[in-house]
Structure 1
Amino acid sequence: MSRDIFAPDSVNPLCQLSLEQLRRRTSMKWRTHPEDVLPLWVAEMDVPLAEPVARAITDAVALGDTGYPAGTAYAEALAEFARKRWGWGGLAVERTAIVPDVMLGIVEMLKLVSGPGDPVVVNCPVYPPFYQFVRNLGRPIIEAPLDTEGRIDFAALEDAFGHGVQRAGRPVYLLCSPHNPTGTVHTAAELTHVAQFARTHGVRVVVDEIHAPIMAAAASFVPYLSVPGAENGLSLMSASKAWNLAGLKAALAIVGPDAADDLARMPEEVSHGPSHVGIIAHTAALRDGGDWLDAVLSGLDDNRRLLAGLLAEHLPAVGYEPAQATYLAWLDCRGLGLGDDPADVFLQRGRVALSSGVDFGTGGAGFARMNLATSPELITEAVRRMAAAIA
């Protein structure tokens, strides 16, 4: 590949940085593998910062405003964003708390509504840190696999809830919405069923909604706390995925009215964990970064269509359905005969780094996850390399 394979695009943030510029980054995506590897794995976007976010950060630095976090500006910005984007006016600022990031926020929510040994139900295949953080917390995992369409299988969920109730008094359902890695957007009817189902079985629901702002054009996000029966639910949200702010730690825990007492028991020191500069950045993103986000979403729609065409032409044995949300592509590589971990084959033979499906739990073997938050040129080159790797 040439050093400047990307043609700058003033509209699409995914086309504004050259490969040379991206390789100067020192984050995980660009430093884990050697320079000859195209990194399309971890959830970082190949974009410059949105201008309102960059301005908010530089203004804070110029002022020396780098102390401890305080106030409710982040929650207020998210509440307004939710009202405008999702038509949800029910995000109550007084029922929020700042937490270091979504996964650490999930840990704190699990501590509030369960105890050591209480099982946590997950829909596999699912985001690998669900397994890592939950098990490190001393909670066993019960898997409720998604159905063949990648949607919640309520028969499997009922079975998992039943096992969870038998094993302990306080089981929890850790729901990923939208779902990672499939990009499935749960419908209002599905989420309502979840809420009622969980109430019937005495199961608390904690929801990871970090990908909520990243919707395909034809999809609509439904906040879990907006559906009937979810009044005792607990949600975690952040601007980090949609505006590429993973290195600026900040997230929000949001609860329904029946979980307000739970949130009140969260230790005060948890609020010291988020970065103050991170909160400034996330707040600016939610308040003033809507146009930039819309440009990214349009570029992602293009990239989903591009990938579908490239796979049909060069790797027709790979199963792929463009996702309704996230900037991730879940590739069914079982037809290629590459074994349980095709991502390793593509890395070793093709020098393309994807996320291994094995790490996503039951149902992930034979799959790989590709990050589409990059330029069309890089996606095209990656598929070319992947095809050559199995030729």
Structure 2
Amino acid sequence: MTRIPHETSGEPNPLHALTPELLRRRTSMKWRTYPEDVLPVWVAEMDVPLAEPVVRAVTGAMERGDTGYPVGSAYAEALAAFARQRWDWDGLAVERTAIVPDVMLGVVEMLKLVTGPGDPVVVNSPVYPPFYAFVRHLDRRVVEAPLGADGRIDPEVLKDTFRRVTAGRERAAYLLCSPHNPTGTVHTADELSAVAALAERYGVRVVADEIHAPLVLAGARFVPYLSVPGGERGLSLMSASKAWNLAGLKAALAVAGPEAAADLARMPEEVGHGPSHVGVLAHTAALREGTAWLDALLAGLDANRRLLTGLLAEHLPAIRYRPGEATYLAWLDCRGLDLGDDPAEVFLRHGRVALNSGLPFGTGGAGHARLNLATTPGLLTEAVRRMAVALRR
């Protein structure tokens, strides 16, 4: 079972470590896309220092000049050990893994293995916008199976969608987001087993994006899709990227169920040339030695989740917010504010605070905004204050 995060991991809360002045010195997308007077709480970068094992791994590589091409199975072995410890899952077989540049590029390669041009790929909207962009760029058709009003997979909707997209006997895939981005929903074993049964019934291949798997908060349990009955034909993409804030150090793993091993074996060898060797070293160190840091982060995120709930209730009670069970992303239903389809644009223009617009997340995204709560409590408080100021325009 997933280990419940706690404050006694021996690590300080990394969300308390950095000042706004230090964060403004960063040169990545989150802090450089908007003018300096805008407070960014949008893209999935965390306002944290790196875990010490990651810093040691990267600086050690620099000192050795160890900046060549990646090789070996250390990353997969570290992930398999992490899965046993955190998820009580012993089914991640190193021989059924392959290194890929990152999760979304890995998704593309997996979809190439199980679908052809023009084939349908089912997604649960609202969902991570690159699901639309990457699938369409691959010349596949995105077909939405919207989540239910409770933010969970609706099995009847999914069944009807699977039946419809396979009626012409074309190949079809289901791109599962688990845990779900942007809602933070953690799918249960029963829900995933129902997905697997439907996929088997209709001949739909499941590709699971499980990048947020290490970021499950107290009270919920992550279940790997490949671990449920019927998941044997599935393909999964996993990475240490989101949980340890390593987006700039590219690396991920494609993982195949026992009955999908032959599919993964068909992946072109050159795909494995894309990941960063230093990224592989960093991700491996995070999984092997960074769990205490992760526990401290999860406790901090849980505290920020409670803080955000209180701040919204006090300053923006018309916003509906169901705290997510995973991720560090908050999905805000702003329709009660009467700000139109794109409330994030109003918050930016009149409050100088940047959130993600809900519109690119597909059906169900209008009137919503996504807020990144992986920041200091002070900046989170200031973000909500600015959002409230925007209403007094």
TM-score by length of 2: 0.97
Distance 2:124 2:290 in 1: 32
Aligned to 1:188: 189
Q: Which runs of 5+ in 1 are unaligned?
A: 1-9
Q: Does 1:273 align with 2:279?
A: no
Aligned to 2:102: 101
Tell me the amino acid that sits aligned with residue 33 of structure 2: T
Describe how 1:317-356 pairs up with structure 2 within 5 A.
317-356=318-357
What do you get for the CA RMSD once the two structures are aligned?
Answer: 0.9
Distance 1:166 1:342 in 2: 39
Describe how 1:240-389 pairs up with structure 2 within 5 A.
240-389=241-390
Q: Deviations over 1:22-75 (max 9, x none)?
A: 000000000000011110000000001100000000001100110000000000
Tell me the amino acid that sits aligned with residue 230 of structure 1: G
Aligned to 1:7: none
Given that residues 119 and 168 in structure 1 are in contact (C-alpha distance below 8 angstroms), is that contact kept between their aligned partners in structure 2?
A: no
Distance 1:238 1:305 in 2: 27
Distance 1:126 1:356 in 2: 12
Aligned to 2:20: 19
SS in 1 for 2:231: coil
Aligned to 1:6: none
- Offset of 1:77 from its aligned partner? 0.1
Alignment coverage as a number of residue pairs = 383
Q: Which runs of 5+ in 2 are unaligned?
A: 1-10
Aligned to 1:78: 79
Given that residues 119 and 167 in structure 1 are in contact (C-alpha distance below 8 angstroms), is that contact kept between their aligned partners in structure 2?
A: no
Aligned to 2:165: 164
- Offset of 1:351 from its aligned partner? 0.5
Aligned to 1:3: none
Describe how 1:33-48 pairs up with structure 2 within 5 A.
33-48=34-49
- Offset of 1:166 from its aligned partner? 2.1
Describe how 1:91-170 pairs up with structure 2 within 5 A.
91-170=92-171
SS in 2 for 1:216: coil
Given that residues 53 and 289 in structure 1 are in contact (C-alpha distance below 8 angstroms), is that contact kept between their aligned partners in structure 2?
A: yes
SS in 2 for 1:166: coil
Describe how 1:215-226 pairs up with structure 2 within 5 A.
215-226=216-227
Distance 2:111 2:302 in 1: 35
Distance 1:277 1:168 in 2: 44
Distance 1:370 1:113 in 2: 34
Aligned to 1:5: none
Tell me the amino acid that sits aligned with residue 12 of structure 2: V
Given that residues 195 and 229 in structure 1 are in contact (C-alpha distance below 8 angstroms), is that contact kept between their aligned partners in structure 2?
A: yes
Tell me the amino acid that sits aligned with residue 255 of structure 2: I
Q: Deviations over 1:103-156 (max 9, x none)?
A: 000000000001001100000000000000000000001100000000001111
- Offset of 1:168 from its aligned partner? 4.9
Distance 1:51 1:356 in 2: 34
Distance 1:207 1:215 in 2: 16
Aligned to 2:206: 205
Q: Deviations over 1:291-315 (max 9, x none)?
A: 0000000000000000000000000
Tell me the amino acid that sits aligned with residue 244 of structure 1: N
Given that residues 352 and 386 in structure 1 are in contact (C-alpha distance below 8 angstroms), is that contact kept between their aligned partners in structure 2?
A: yes
Tell me the amino acid that sits aligned with residue 220 of structure 2: A
SS in 2 for 1:225: helix
**Identity rate of aligned residues, in percent?**
74
- Offset of 1:282 from its aligned partner? 0.1
Tell me the amino acid that sits aligned with residue 178 of structure 1: P
Tell me the amino acid that sits aligned with residue 387 of structure 1: A
Tell me the amino acid that sits aligned with residue 311 of structure 1: L
Distance 2:203 2:57 in 1: 44
Distance 1:318 1:272 in 2: 45
Greater RCO (CA < 8 Å, at least 6 residues apart): 2
SS in 1 for 2:247: coil
Given that residues 117 and 168 in structure 1 are in contact (C-alpha distance below 8 angstroms), is that contact kept between their aligned partners in structure 2?
A: no
Tell me the amino acid that sits aligned with residue 243 of structure 1: W
SS in 1 for 2:72: coil
Tell me the amino acid that sits aligned with residue 334 of structure 2: C
Q: Deviations over 1:252-280 (max 9, x none)?
A: 00000100000010000000000000000
Tell me the amino acid that sits aligned with residue 363 of structure 1: G
Structure 1 stretches (4+) deviating beyond 4 angstroms? none
- Offset of 1:167 from its aligned partner? 4.3
Distance 2:245 2:254 in 1: 19
